[in-house]
Copies of this chain bind each other. A is one copy, B any other.
Amino acid sequence: MRDFSRSLPMSLLRAREAVMRQFRPSLREHGLTEQQWRILRALAAIETVEVTELARTAFLLGPSLSRILRDLEARNLIERKTAKADQRRSMVSISKEGVKLMASVAPTSEAIYAEITRRFGARKLAELQEMLGALEQSLAELGASEEASAEE
C-alpha cells in the first residue's frame, strides 16, 4: 500500500492545518473558534439566513451549528427569530456586537491571509484553489451516485 503519509487525505489535512495554525492564535485572542468565525463571516455577507442554508454556507453539520448558534446567541453576537410564514424555520442574523467583533478581528485576519498569499504566490494560490474545486466536483458526482444506489 502507498506510503500513507503521501495519501491525498493526509496531504489535505496537513495543508489545512498549516494554514489554520496561522489564524488560530488571532481568533483565540478574540475568544472565537474557527467555526464561530466561519459563521460570523457567513452572516456578515447577508441580511438573514435560515439555519439550514447557513449550515451549507459555513460547511457545518446541523448539530454543530445548532450548538454554536446557541452559544453565539448567548454572547449576543447573533440574533434569531422564527420565520412568520413557516414556524419551523429560524432566521439568523449577525448583531451589532457581532459586527463590531468582526471589525476588530478582520484586519489581523486579512494581514495573515496576505502574508500566506505572498509566501506561496498569488498565482499558485489561485491554481491550487482551482484544483481543489475541480477535485470536489469530480467527487461530488461520485458521492451522489453512491447515495442514490444505497437509498433503498
Using a CB–CB cutoff of 8 Å, the interface residues on chain A facing chain B are 1-23, 25, 34, 38, 41-42, 44-45, 57, 59, 106, 110, 113, 115-116, 119-120, 124-125, 127-129, 131-136, 138-143, 146
Contacts and interface: CB of A to CB of B under 8 A. Distances in A.
A136 B4 CA distance: 17
Contacts of A4: 38, 41-42, 45
Contacts of A142: 22, 115-116, 119
6 contacts: A12-B132, A15-B132, A15-B133, A116-B138, A116-B139, A131-B131
A10 B59 contact: yes
A18 B63 CA distance: 19
**Interface residues of chain A: helix, strand, loop or mixed (majority):** helix
A5 B46 CA distance: 13
B59 A8 contact: no
Given A9-B20, A138-B120, A41 B1 contact: yes
Contacts of A22: 139, 142-143
A19 B15 contact: no
Contacts of A131: 124, 127-128, 131
A134 to B, nearest CB: 7
A140 B18 contact: yes
